[in-house]
Copies of this chain bind each other. A is one copy, B any other.
Amino acid sequence: MNRLEAFSDGVFAIAITLLVLEIAVPRLGGGLLGAIVGEWPSYLAYLVSFATIGAVWVAHSVITEHVESADPPFLRINLLLLFFVSFLPFPTKLLAEYLGHDGAEEAVRVAVTFYGVTLLLTSVTASALWGWARHAHLIHESARDADVRYLTHRLTPGLAGYVAIIIVGVFQPILAVLGYLVIALFFLVPVRELRASRRAGTSAPGGVDPAS
């Protein structure tokens, strides 16, 4: 698990940092301030992808924290998750390029849908990683049932959310992008409570958890 975590952390950290390379230096013409402001699709795409990779990293570290040892399918699903995460800079680049494009409605729609499908596949793979860990009994025996159920419960609605927003995006592309941001920010919030409580539980004297 150590090298799996180190390698995954590396891919997450690189993917999240490469995103900034896609923001191009604006060309002058009527003032730099206006040119910078005119690049808002780049910033929005950057922000949404950053928040999403951050959220997936949080989910990934919660999952691996509960998992005792990796078996072959777990490792392959993990590699598939890293595949989608490291692919994300490309749809982000497409989104940044076409989001504010007037007179190219078809391109905007395609770019937003392509972006959303990548997010959906990332999210499905993260759920599959957790699902496999539960199915193959890879989870620490010390993990509390309530935590396992809670994490399962948390990972599911994201999928339905992505499907719904992909459909919305065909008609309202910018609204869909904001929706993807909301899902990522929403995911960043309460999962950590779980993690903190588990930590507190394991560090209690004698390993006894008064809450269970």
Query: Could you tell me which A residues sit within 8 Å of B by CB distance?
Result: 3, 5-7, 9-21, 23, 25, 28, 31-33, 36, 46, 50, 54, 57-58, 61, 69-72, 75-76, 79, 82-83, 86-87, 89-90, 93-94, 97-98, 104, 106-107, 110-111, 114, 188-190, 192-193, 195-196, 199, 203
* Option from B10, B79, B114, B193 in Cβ contact (under 8 Å) with A36: B114
Are B107 and A28 within 8 A (Cβ)? Answer: yes
Number of copies: 4
A203 to B9, CA, bound (A): 26
A104 and B61 contacting across the interface, CB-CB below 8 Å:
no
Q: Known interface pairs A61-B3, A86-B19, A189-B72. Does A14 touch B10 (Cβ–Cβ under 8 Å)?
A: yes
Residues of chain B contacted by A79 (CB below 8 angstroms): 54, 188
Name 10 interchain pairs, CB-CB below 8 A, sorted by A: A6-B6, A14-B17, A16-B86, A28-B107, A32-B98, A32-B111, A50-B83, A71-B192, A72-B196, A76-B192
Are the C-beta atoms of B32 and A107 separated by less than 8 Å? yes
| B72 lies within 8 A of A192 (CB) | yes
Distance in angstroms between the alpha carbons of A32 and B189 in the assembled complex: 36
Question: Which chain B residues border A107 with CB–CB below 8 Å?
Answer: 28, 31-32
Q: Are B75 and A33 in contact (CB under 8 A)?
A: no
Most chain-B Cβ atoms within 10 A of its Cβ — which of A7, A58, A93?
A7
If A33-B110, A50-B83, A106-B32 touch, does A90 touch B9 (CB 8 Å cutoff)? no
A164 to B59, CA, bound (A): 40
Return the contact of A9 from the options B7, B33, B50 (Cβ within 8 A): B7
Interface centre among A10, A20, A82 (most CB of B within 10 A): A20
A105 to chain B minimum Cβ distance, whole angstroms, is 10
Those 7 A-B pairs whose CB atoms lie nearest each other, nearest first? A10-B13, A72-B192, A32-B107, A14-B17, A32-B110, A17-B86, A11-B13
Distance in Å: Cβ of A120 to nearest Cβ of chain B: 17
The interface centre, meaning the residue of A10, A15, A19, A46 with most chain B CB atoms within 10 A of its CB, is: A10
In the complex with contacts A32-B98, A36-B110, A192-B71, A21-B18 CB distance below 8 A: yes
